[in-house]
Chains A and B, each alone.
Chain A
Amino acid sequence: MSRSEDQALLGTLVDESTLLSIEDLCRICAIERRHVVEFVEEGVLEVAAIDADEWRFRGGALRRARIAMRLQRDLELNLVGIALALDLMDEIQQLRREIRAKR
Chain B
Amino acid sequence: MVEFKDYYQVMGVARDATEAQIKQAYRKLARKYHPDVSKEKDAEARFKEVGEAYEVLRNPEKRAAYDNLGANHRSGEEFRPPPNWNTDFEFSGAGRGEADYSDFFETLFGAQARAQSGRRRDSHPSQGEDHHAKVMLDLEASLTGGSRSFTLKMPEIDTEGRLRTAERTLNVQVPKGILAGQQIRLAGQGARPNDSGKAGDLYLEVEFEPHPLYRVDGRDLTLELPVAPWEAALGATVKTPTPGGVVDLKVPPGSHAGSKLRLKSRGIPAKPPGDFYVILQIALPPAQDEKAKAAYAAMAAALPFNPRAGMGV
Cβ-defined contact, A2 with B166, below 8 A: yes
- Taking a contact as CB atoms closer than 8 A, the residue among A9, A12, A103 that contacts B170 in the complex is A9
Question: Please, what's the 1-or-0 string for B194-208, where 1 marks a CB less than 8 Å from any CB in chain A?
Answer: 000000110111000
Asked if A1 CB lies within 8 Å of chain B CBs, one says yes
Give 9 nearest A-B pairs by CB, closest first: A13-B175, A8-B147, A11-B184, A14-B183, A12-B185, A8-B173, A8-B171, A4-B169, A11-B172
A7→B124 CA distance, assembly (Å): 29
Asked if B222 CB lies within 8 Å of chain A CBs, one says yes
Residue numbers of A with Cβ under 8 A of B are 1-15, 17, 26-30, 32, 59-60, 62-63, 66-67, 70-71, 73-76, 85, 89, 97, 100-101, 103
Question: Please, what's the 1-or-0 string for B292-304, where 1 marks a CB less than 8 Å from any CB in chain A?
Answer: 0000000000000
Asked if B18 CB lies within 8 Å of chain A CBs, one says no
CB distance from B189 to the nearest CB of A (A): 7
Cβ-defined contact, A70 with B201, below 8 A: no
| CB-defined A-B contacts under 8 Å, sample of 21 | A1-B168, A4-B168, A6-B171, A8-B147, A8-B171, A8-B172, A11-B175, A11-B204, A13-B185, A14-B183, A15-B179, A15-B182, A17-B271, A27-B124, A28-B130, A30-B120, A59-B183, A71-B34, A75-B30, A89-B37, A100-B215
Question: Please, what's the 1-or-0 string for B176-192, where 1 marks a CB less than 8 Å from any CB in chain A?
Answer: 01110111111101000
For B36, what are the chain A residues with a Cβ–Cβ distance below 8 Å?
67, 70-71, 89
For A66, what are the chain B residues with a Cβ–Cβ distance below 8 Å?
132
Cβ-defined contact, A28 with B203, below 8 A: yes
For A85, what are the chain B residues with a Cβ–Cβ distance below 8 Å?
37
A1→B154 CA distance, assembly (Å): 10
For B27, what are the chain A residues with a Cβ–Cβ distance below 8 Å?
75-76
Cβ-defined contact, B217 with A97, below 8 A: yes
Asked if B167 CB lies within 8 Å of chain A CBs, one says yes
A8→B175 CA distance, assembly (Å): 12
Cβ-defined contact, A100 with B222, below 8 A: yes
- Taking a contact as CB atoms closer than 8 A, the residue among B31, B170, B184, B218 that contacts A75 in the complex is B31
Cβ-defined contact, A2 with B130, below 8 A: no
A84→B167 CA distance, assembly (Å): 37
For B47, what are the chain A residues with a Cβ–Cβ distance below 8 Å?
74
Asked if B84 CB lies within 8 Å of chain A CBs, one says no
Cβ-defined contact, B178 with A13, below 8 A: yes
A60→B270 CA distance, assembly (Å): 15
Which partner residue on chain A sits nearest B130 by CB separation? A28
For A59, what are the chain B residues with a Cβ–Cβ distance below 8 Å?
182-183
For A73, what are the chain B residues with a Cβ–Cβ distance below 8 Å?
96
CB distance from B226 to the nearest CB of A (A): 16
A12→B202 CA distance, assembly (Å): 11
Cβ-defined contact, A75 with B34, below 8 A: yes
Cβ-defined contact, A100 with B201, below 8 A: no
Asked if B156 CB lies within 8 Å of chain A CBs, one says yes
Which partner residue on chain B sits nearest A14 by CB separation? B183
CB distance from B169 to the nearest CB of A (A): 5
A63→B34 CA distance, assembly (Å): 16
Cβ-defined contact, A62 with B123, below 8 A: no
Which partner residue on chain B sits nearest A88 by CB separation? B37
Cβ-defined contact, A1 with B156, below 8 A: yes
